[in-house]
Amino acid sequence: MKKILSVMTLVAALAVAGTSQAMAQTVQGKPIRAEQLANDNWLLHVSPQETAKYLLLPVEDKAPEAHLKLIVDNQLCRNIDVRMALHKIDYYVPVVLDEFRGHNLVVQAHMNIDRSNRGGVGSEICWANIRLSDTFDQTNRERFRPLYHHTPVYGWMNDPNGMFYKDGTWHLFYQYNPYGSMWGNMNWRHSTSRDLLTWNDEGVAIAPDAHGAIFSGSCVVDEKNTAGFGAGAVIALYTSAGDVQSQSLAYSTDGGRTFTPYAGNPILTADVPDFRDPNMFWNDDINAWNLILAVGQEMRIYSSPNLKDWKEESRFGLGYGNHDGVWECPDLFPLPVDKLTSKQVDKLNGKQLVNSSTNNSSTITKWVLVCNINPGGPFGGSATQYFVGDFDGHKFTCDSAPQVTKWMDWGKDHYATVSFWGAPKDRRTVLAWMSNWQYANDAPTMQYRSANSIARDLGLFQDGGEWYVSVKPSPEMLAARGKKVKSPTEACEMVVDLKGSATITLANAKGEKVVMTYDDDARTFSMDRTQSGNVAFSEAFPCTTVAPTHGRLKQLRIFIDRCSIEAFDADGHVAMTNLVFPSEPYNSVKVKGGKATIWEMKSGK
Ligand code: FRU
């Protein structure tokens, strides 16, 4: 068998928009015949004796999704949606056959094709090109794949999920499609890192079941065995997205590597359609767990002694902040306010600060409620808003007037931001998904789609009687600095010391450029990507994003990684994250009104 597989090699003809230098995917294996049935259905039989590791399915990104049923020994085992290639093969995706070995596997496919302007049934290129193979080529074929940001090895990624830190390892799960580079078939895939820069792929951790796809959620480490799955079990809570959205639990007794869905799922239901993205945490103040959930236009807050039985405590949000889209992916956490004098406390318009339960009087905390919203962002589409206030384990009270809206990042590509559970030394470390639902599925990459932001650490600062969240690159980013260089490279950090207003222009020889402007009088910082390279893949892509700076800026830190630019000021008052797709890397910078120092970044790959 091995021999037959290895002699039959073909190369998938890749027509990748905007990636003319893309390598081809090598596809090995032997063809397997699909049989045409009536009514646009196809059937394929993989025998119990088959030893190949993968069934490789040919995909065309812009084709409609075909619906595939994986039937094992006459039982429906899995439903998957795959954009089976009609005219051209963009790439292949693997169905891993290990778990079906020794069983009859029947794949029954239904095409969803409007036949009015298509060839007759059977004209699709996919059916003659399905293969059985021992290998699946996941070599990177994208020149836009970032070097020091987290990306999936192949396939589609959106929200970061279930992030936690334990014993020196950062765990990141994420919304993942194993069967294509567009959104669909939501699984949680898992990556781990010891430095927030180098990520190891740990494979799929939670796959869809009869309750539905696995939407976003969170993980905690249940040190006290409150849920009964063992002390130190990792508990995941996620949204099961089937005909309705409900919340389900899964547990891991091997540190987050594999999960078992709880037999009593779903554990939380409601009579509303948008009911998702559970985020749970231990709260010493009530000696119990809290949970925050996005429900349409508001957040619901729950408590539980055991992570399974949840009692609704309160709701927050109606009339507060921005409501131009659906509220999603919440988070709720305390942040310490450092070294506040009593005078400063008085200055906060008499607003009461809550002392934490520790006796240390200098440790005062405010609570931050994170609410990702889509659409409704300041420049269209997705963005992360937040509220600062107090939380007693039962009710969140916002400090600001209802009409006040605060954004965590003022770029267009910063969404689904949530924090790591259990980060060391009381750090509040977050990751965002670096894209925007307005065009995420059309971004000009194909072998993989989407990256996470660099890790950021949050704090608090005050301006005009209001508390704001400060956003700074996590300290780990300093370790990524390599040698100093004179000009920008495709993966670098640029530190610009400012003397007042400044203009920073990044450019390449093709005349493509990104212009960043700090206006010291208006106290704004902006980034113009209208001429940054390929901006044509979506009307919503070309834009200039503008942020208030909350005071004078002294220094900017600008992180460039092939297709992203993340700008921060030294005090964490401004964060701005934007994607760019230049036809060649920006290799020159002109700074008017400041001085730039540039470090090449070490690749995390
Ligand atoms: C946010 C989101 C979540 C949902 C997930 C599905 O980007 O819409 O609300 O759980 O994506 O992939």
How many residues are there in the chain? 605
Q: Which of 173, 175, 176 to mutate to test the pocket of ligand 1 (most atoms within 8 A of CB)?
A: 175
- Given a contact cutoff of 8 angstroms between Cβ atoms, the answer to whether 373 and 294 are in contact is no
Task: Check whether 244 has a pLDDT greater than 90.
Answer: yes
> d(Cα 221, Cα 255) in Å, to the nearest integer?
9
Q: Residue 217: what pLDDT?
A: 98
> d(Cα 155, Cα 500) in Å, to the nearest integer?
44
Q: Residue 352: what pLDDT?
A: 44
- DSSP class of residue 424? G
Please give the distance, rounded to the nearest whole angstrom, from the Cα atom of residue 175 to the centre of ligand 1.
8
Please give the distance, rounded to the nearest whole angstrom, from the Cα atom of residue 228 to the centre of ligand 1.
29
Secondary structure, 3-state, 96-129: ECHHHCCCCEEEEEECCCCHHHCCCCCCCHHHHC
Please give the distance, rounded to the nearest whole angstrom, from the Cα atom of residue 427 to the centre of ligand 1.
25
Residues 6+ apart with CB under 8 A from 362: 338, 339, 340
Q: Which of 186, 211, 215, 297 to mutate to test the pocket of ligand 1 (most atoms within 8 A of CB)?
A: 215
Which amino acid makes up residue 290? Answer: N
Residues 6+ apart with CB under 8 A from 21: 143
> d(Cα 524, Cα 385) in Å, to the nearest integer?
19
Q: Residue 360: what pLDDT?
A: 41
Q: Residue 113: what pLDDT?
A: 79
| Across 234-262, average pLDDT | 98
Ligand 1 pocket residues where CB is under 6 Å: 158-159, 175, 186, 215-216, 239, 276-277, 328-329, 416
| Burial bucket for residue 372 (CB in 10 Å: 0-12, 13-18, 19+) | buried
Q: Residue 425: what pLDDT?
A: 87
Please give the distance, rounded to the nearest whole angstrom, from the Cα atom of residue 183 to the centre of ligand 1.
10
> d(Cα 173, Cα 605) in Å, to the nearest integer?
18
The two three-digit tokens of residue 9, written as one number: 């090699």
What would the DSSP string read from start to end of 472-530? EE-GGGGGGEEEEESS--SEEEEEEEEEEEEEEEEE-TTS-EEEEEEETTTTEEEEE-T
Task: Check whether 59 has a pLDDT greater than 70.
Answer: yes
Instruction: State the DSSP H helix or E strand holding residue 390, giving kind and residue range, or none if neither.
Output: strand 383-391
Q: What percent of the chain has pLDDT over 70?
A: 91
Please give the distance, rounded to the nearest whole angstrom, from the Cα atom of residue 453 to the centre of ligand 1.
17
Atom of ligand 1 nearest to the CA of 175: 12
Q: Residue 21: what pLDDT?
A: 45
Q: Distance from CA of residue 440 to its chain's centroid?
A: 11
Task: Check whether 94 has a pLDDT greater than 50.
Answer: yes
Residues carrying an active site annotation = 159
pLDDT band at residue 452 under the 50/70/90 scheme: very high
Task: Check whether 15 has a pLDDT greater than 90.
Answer: no
| Across 442-470, average pLDDT | 97
Q: Residue 359: what pLDDT?
A: 40
| Burial bucket for residue 565 (CB in 10 Å: 0-12, 13-18, 19+) | buried
pLDDT band at residue 603 under the 50/70/90 scheme: confident
- In tens, the pLDDT along 183-202 reads 999 999 999 999 999 999 99
Which residue is listed with tokens 């796959």?
A: 207
Q: Tell me, which fold does domain 477-601 have in CATH?
A: Jelly Rolls (2.60.120)
In this prediction the pTM is: 0.94
- In tens, the pLDDT along 433-451 reads 999 999 999 999 999 999 9
Q: Nearest-CA neighbor of 575 among 543, 600, 550?
A: 550
The order of strands in the sheet holding 155-166 is 200-206, 187-193, 169-177, 155-166, 448-449
Q: Nearest-CA neighbor of 418 among 282, 287, 292, 307?
A: 292
* Greatest CA separation for the chain: 80
Task: Check whether 119 has a pLDDT greater than 70.
Answer: no
- In tens, the pLDDT along 300-342 reads 999 999 999 999 999 999 999 999 999 999 999 999 986 554 5
Atom of ligand 1 nearest to the CA of 239: 10
Which residue is listed with tokens 């009381």?
A: 426
Strands, E assignment, 35-99: 35-36, 41-46, 54-59, 66-72, 75-82, 91-96
- In tens, the pLDDT along 563-589 reads 999 999 999 999 999 999 999 999 999
Sign of CA dihedral 534, 382, 243, 213: positive
Q: Residue 457: what pLDDT?
A: 98
Q: Which residue owns the Cα nearest ligand 1 atom 6?
A: 215
Q: Residue 194: what pLDDT?
A: 97
Q: Residue 11: what pLDDT?
A: 54
Q: Tell me, which fold does domain 5-133 have in CATH?
A: Jelly Rolls (2.60.120)
- In tens, the pLDDT along 495-553 reads 999 999 999 999 999 999 999 999 999 999 999 999 999 999 999 999 999 999 999 99
pLDDT band at residue 604 under the 50/70/90 scheme: confident
- In tens, the pLDDT along 348-369 reads 544 444 443 344 444 679 999 9
CATH 2.60.120.560 domain position(s) in the chain: 477-601
The whole-chain average pLDDT of the chain stands at 92
> d(Cα 177, Cα 159) in Å, to the nearest integer?
12
Q: Which residue owns the Cα nearest ligand 1 atom 12?
A: 215
